[in-house]
Amino acid sequence: MIEQLSWKVGGQQGEGIESTGEIFAIALNRMGYYLYGYRHFSSRIKGGHTNNKIRVSTNEVRSVSDDLDMLIAFDQETIDVNAHELHSGGIIIGDAKFKPVKPEGCKAELVIIPFSEIATELGTSLMKNMVAIGATSAALGVDTATYQAVVEEIFGRKGEKVVTSNMEAIQRGADAFVQSAGNSVQTLSLKKADGKNRMFMIGNDAIALGALAGGARLMAAYPITPASEIMEYLIKKLPEFGGTVIQTEDEIAAATMAIGSNYAGVRTLTASAGPGLSLMMEAIGLSGITETPLVIVDTQRGGPSTGLPTKQEQSDLLAMIYGTHGEIPKIVIAPSTVEEAFYDAIEAFNLAEEYQCPVILLSDLQLSLGKQTVEPLDYHKIKIRRGKLNDQELPEREDKAYFKRFEVTDDGVSNRVIPGTKNGVFHVTGVEHDETGKPSEVPENRKDQMEKRLRKISNLSFPVPIYKREEHEESDVLLIGFNSTRGSIEEAIPRLEEDGFKVNHAQIRLVHPFPSDELLPMLKAAKKVVVVEHNATGQLASLVKMNAGHGDKIESLLKYDGNPFLPGDIHQQCKEMLANGHI
């Protein structure tokens, strides 16, 4: 019995690799297993190797596994590219059609099954995916009947016959596996799961659902990988709530349109990746100086320019904090799990209205697209706070005096009315202005307004600015990360502890304003600090040093080849760094 399985299906892009993984994963998720799926894909639609690696476990998992138990191959390239991940005792199941061969030195078993042939016999070669699922299930000891409900949901529309033949394909795949593998292969039978109902979703689903729950009613966006799922989800759902998604001509329009509708009182978001964020920079400054709430999601991917558009990277961090010219208050939050992405999306809208400034919800490709099992979300944690928003009619104005929308206050936040409010007329401008929004270059006023705006976030309260695992009063090493590296770091920790190191962990959740006071005690209590991040220049490490000091202890563990950190990467490299006194 195994508690954890790492499974991968690969082939040419456009061959249905995605749906094979999807059906397999949904069925197992419903049995109560915890799943984590990560797709390797390139930025083309047809052709090119693609694979979907799925972890199945009886415990929560949030990272790509180091190795592989089972590989389903629809072409030889899949075997050539991925076989090195298989450990001895692993299985390759290949389609007889391409006459699979094992690369030299590969210790896994190769089982050949005529996926395509069986599928064609049953009506269409498209069903080869189902045959593969059947074979997988036999190898795992999973009952084929498990798939009935999922197959009905997916193919039900196409009629009873299609459902039946797909189920038959699954059964034939299972039979074929038993027949060809017989006793030659040790089956990887999975320990039974708890049968609980949990969600199975990507980070972008959680962000989109969070936006909806957080009261967003409009979205303006321009498609880009890996952000598009957010607009695609919301365009399906927002019309039920009276709202919509507008696909704009570019990201400049997306951000400024969102500013327009936030100004007019509707929670509106936009979402993009690095290239789009670059285009939004001027608008972010406009939101800052006009004190208009704005929520922007940045799903980081490999940059610069078109960079590695379908690969993992975390290289937008400093640009998100410092981007836009001039100086404005801005809040940048970085969820490290899918659950956090949901709650943070809600919080982003609350903070944007409470502090009347731009809020960037920072994600990365692995968090945005990694598909995983998520515990049901807590409805009662959804709270909507709109800050100093006044929705009442105001008293009659004297001499057409404008409402003091930018009144200088102790906390820097001024009362806000929205257009349409009776007697609330005021002016908004990206030019420096006085309390009523009238342009002004008077030095005193400039100072007052500048300080007022910047003051707003000096006392920012954010529920959990750092996710901490602080098991040791004094640690040999403190691991620091942000966004999706959380899963791999968490898996590397027990291994490092087994090697005899005392490890603490801080995942930075509020990256700006930086929670220095929260981090300092952990830095002080650590002999060494390793900052783990997906970029080439150590941006988070710079941020930590700049804000909290302790530069002498801090070293970077970087990965920027496009692939996510595996727990083993962190374990091995950290161990080496610690062992040879590298730090």
Partner 1 sequence: MATFKDFRNQVKPNWCPGCGDFSVQAAIQRAAANVGLEPDDLAVVSGIGCSGRISGYINAYGFHGIHGRSLPIAQGVKMANRDLTVIASGGDGDGFAIGMGHTIHAMRRNIDVTYIVMDNQIYGLTKGQTSPTSAEGFKTKSTPSGSIESSLSIMELALSSGCGFVAQSFSTDLKDLVAIIELGIQHKGFSLINVFSPCVTFNKVNTYDWFKQNLVSLNDIEGYDPTNRMLAMQTLMEHDGLVKGLIYHNPTRPSYQESVRGYSAEALSKQNLALPEEKFTELMAEFM
Give residues 189-208 in contact with partner 1 (rule: CB under 8 A).
197-201, 205
Strands 503-508 and 466-469: antiparallel
Under the binding rule (CB under 8 A), the answer on residue 252 touching partner 1 is yes
Q: In this structure, are residues 234 and 219 in contact, taking their beta carbons and an 8 Å threshold?
A: yes
Taking the least distance from each CB to partner 1, the nearer of 153 and 451 is 153
Q: How far is the CB of 217 from partner 1 (least distance, A)?
A: 5
Q: How far is the CB of 270 from partner 1 (least distance, A)?
A: 10
3-state secondary structure of 8: strand
Q: In this structure, are residues 106 and 126 in contact, taking their beta carbons and an 8 Å threshold?
A: no
Under the binding rule (CB under 8 A), the answer on residue 286 touching partner 1 is yes
Taking the least distance from each CB to partner 1, the nearer of 396 and 498 is 396
Taking the least distance from each CB to partner 1, the nearer of 132 and 206 is 206
Under the binding rule (CB under 8 A), the answer on residue 323 touching partner 1 is no
Q: In this structure, are residues 320 and 298 in contact, taking their beta carbons and an 8 Å threshold?
A: yes
Instruction: Report the residue from 164, 423, 458, 459 that binds partner 1 according to the rule CB under 8 A.
Output: 423
**Phi, psi of 266, deg, nearest 5:** -115, 130
Under the binding rule (CB under 8 A), the answer on residue 442 touching partner 1 is no
Under the binding rule (CB under 8 A), the answer on residue 420 touching partner 1 is yes
Restricting to residues 69-108, name those near partner 1 by CB under 8 A. none
Restricting to residues 560-579, name those near partner 1 by CB under 8 A. none
Under the binding rule (CB under 8 A), the answer on residue 257 touching partner 1 is yes
Query: Rounded CA gap, 415 and 197, in Å?
Result: 45
Taking the least distance from each CB to partner 1, the nearer of 18 and 282 is 282
Q: How far is the CB of 430 from partner 1 (least distance, A)?
A: 5
Restricting to residues 526-545, name those near partner 1 by CB under 8 A. none
Instruction: Report the residue from 63, 261, 315, 475 that binds partner 1 according to the rule CB under 8 A.
Output: 261
> Peptide bond preceding 465: is omega within 30 degrees of 0, i.e. cis?
no
**Phi, psi of 309, deg, nearest 5:** -65, -20
Taking the least distance from each CB to partner 1, the nearer of 146 and 421 is 421
Under the binding rule (CB under 8 A), the answer on residue 271 touching partner 1 is no
Instruction: Report the residue from 118, 132, 234, 258 that binds partner 1 according to the rule CB under 8 A.
Output: 258
Instruction: Report the residue from 2, 126, 266, 525 that binds partner 1 according to the rule CB under 8 A.
Output: 266
Q: In this structure, are residues 556 and 541 in contact, taking their beta carbons and an 8 Å threshold?
A: yes
Restricting to residues 222-251, name those near partner 1 by CB under 8 A. 237-244, 246, 248-250
Under the binding rule (CB under 8 A), the answer on residue 337 touching partner 1 is no
Q: How far is the CB of 439 from partner 1 (least distance, A)?
A: 7
CA end-to-end span of the chain: 41
Under the binding rule (CB under 8 A), the answer on residue 280 touching partner 1 is no
For residue 530, CA distances in Å to 119, 470, 551 come to: 51, 15, 11
3-state secondary structure of 87: strand
Taking the least distance from each CB to partner 1, the nearer of 226 and 265 is 265
Instruction: Report the residue from 101, 145, 149, 431 that binds partner 1 according to the rule CB under 8 A.
Output: 431
Instruction: Report the residue from 25, 92, 163, 209 that binds partner 1 according to the rule CB under 8 A.
Output: 209
* DSSP H or E run through 55: strand 49-57
Number of residues located near partner 1, criterion CB under 8 A? 75
Restricting to residues 359-418, name those near partner 1 by CB under 8 A. 374, 376-377, 379, 382, 384, 399-402, 418
Residue 455, Cβ neighbours under 10 Å: how many?
Answer: 16
Among 511, 518, 544, 534, which Cα is nearest to 367's?
Answer: 534
Taking the least distance from each CB to partner 1, the nearer of 19 and 547 is 19
Question: 22: which residues sit within 8 A by CB, 6+ positions away?
Answer: none
Q: How far is the CB of 345 from partner 1 (least distance, A)?
A: 13
Under the binding rule (CB under 8 A), the answer on residue 281 touching partner 1 is no
Alpha-carbon radius of gyration of the chain? 26
Taking the least distance from each CB to partner 1, the nearer of 153 and 517 is 153
Taking the least distance from each CB to partner 1, the nearer of 97 and 330 is 330
Query: Rounded CA gap, 17 and 52, in Å?
Result: 7
Taking the least distance from each CB to partner 1, the nearer of 71 and 245 is 245
For residues 151 to 190, the per-residue mask of contacts with partner 1, x marking binding by CB under 8 A and - elsewhere, is ----------------------------------------
Taking the least distance from each CB to partner 1, the nearer of 386 and 468 is 386
For residue 458, CA distances in Å to 408, 413, 453, 559 come to: 15, 11, 10, 33
Under the binding rule (CB under 8 A), the answer on residue 517 touching partner 1 is no
Under the binding rule (CB under 8 A), the answer on residue 439 touching partner 1 is yes
Restricting to residues 18-37, name those near partner 1 by CB under 8 A. 29-30
Q: How far is the CB of 400 from partner 1 (least distance, A)?
A: 5
Question: 389: which residues sit within 8 A by CB, 6+ positions away?
Answer: 265, 353, 416, 417, 418
Under the binding rule (CB under 8 A), the answer on residue 426 touching partner 1 is yes
Structure tokens at 258: 């969102």
Query: Rounded CA gap, 37 and 55, in Å?
Result: 6
Question: 105: which residues sit within 8 A by CB, 6+ positions away?
Answer: none
Query: Rounded CA gap, 245 and 234, in Å?
Result: 7
For residue 61, CA distances in Å to 3, 378, 489 come to: 12, 20, 12
Cβ-based burial of 395 (10 A; exposed 0-12, middle 13-18, buried ≥19): exposed
3-state secondary structure of 344: helix
Q: How far is the CB of 203 from partner 1 (least distance, A)?
A: 12
Residues in the chain: 583
Q: How far is the CB of 321 from partner 1 (least distance, A)?
A: 21
